[in-house]
Amino acid sequence: MHRKMWIIFTGLCGIALAAPAGAQEVKPKPPLYSYVAEWQVPRDKWADFEKGSASMAEVFDKAVADGTLVGYGHDEAVVHSADGPTHDTWWAADSMAGLVKVLELARASAAGSSAMSAATKHWDNIFVSRYYNRKPGAYKGAYTRISLYKFKASAPEDGLDQLCQHLIVPAMEKLIADGTIFEYEVDTEAVHSDDPSTFAMVFQTSTPEGLDKVQAAILGTGKEHPLAIAAFGTMTEDNAHRDYLLKGDGAYK
């Protein structure tokens, strides 16, 4: 999705939008933690790696069934970079303890796996979200869109809350209600291995058409609020913006 479209979309928080009469107040939810393991795998090893990732489903299904996890999945990058990851495996829980318990199970299950050893690079990340929603059920071949941003030093301390409460959550709730997307979240790092001022907007859609529908919704919002670009620019670093597009399988409780 083009940078300008996301500026239009997220910039609305900076102009103190008033909620429509009767609109439900948006409040932070209990923390949702996500563990994301990213891998760079040589192309000739992709099939083996993906088979190994899929074999972990039994471990994750048991953790979902007993309430330790609320979701899991694995993805392949659709848009590749020279040095970035090609695949990921992730799982989500209502507590850090849940993440770590499943991490130990996953490591034990994957011990000695030739698929995992095929990776030439590996990264781990733990994120936390207070603004999110999802529809339960399994999905296959769905698209995940991630937009990464960095706040300027001059941004207000509650900038992320403003952004989520006045814009992102209301907009994403409409898209999840009409079936365009089935999950969204706004993430920051729970264990900081990157700049603490960064945040990520994430949504998932079942079809390629869903990507276009979200784009259309963003453009429509921007036409209603033409000052959004300037407002967003006062809060974030333009050159820090990154986008990622993934495709994969998973499930939510």
Q: With contact defined as beta carbons under 8 Å apart, do 190 and 96 qualify?
A: yes
Query: Please, which residues bridge with residue 88 across strands?
Result: 38, 75
Residue pair 167/9 in contact by the 8 Å Cβ criterion: yes
Domains of the chain (ranges plus CATH)? 3-16+28-242 (3.30.70.100)
Sign of the alpha-carbon torsion through 154, 156, 162, 164: positive
- Beta strands per DSSP E along 41-176: 71-77, 87-93, 121-134, 137-150
Residue 20 confidence (pLDDT)? 43
Q: What is the pLDDT of residues 104-149, one digit of tens each?
A: 999 888 765 666 777 889 999 999 999 999 999 999 999 999 999 9
Alpha-carbon torsion (161, 165, 166, 171), positive or negative: positive
Taking phi over 0 as left and psi of -120 to 50 as alpha, with beta for the rest, 91 belongs to beta
* Tens-digit pLDDT profile for residues 217-246: 877 766 666 565 556 667 889 889 999 999
β-pair partners for 34 = 92, 127
Confidence of residue 88 (pLDDT cuts 50, 70, 90): very high
Residue 5's pLDDT band, with cuts at 50, 70 and 90, is very low
Does the pLDDT value for residue 162 go beyond 50?
yes
> Cα–Cα distance between 73 and 50 in angstroms, integer?
12
SS3 of the chain: helix, strand, coil, percent, to 5 = 40, 30, 30
d(CA 84, CA 105): 26
Q: Measuring CA to CA, which residue among 90, 110, 104 is closest to residue 32?
A: 90
- pTM for this entry: 0.88
What the block records as the tokens of 26 is 């948006």
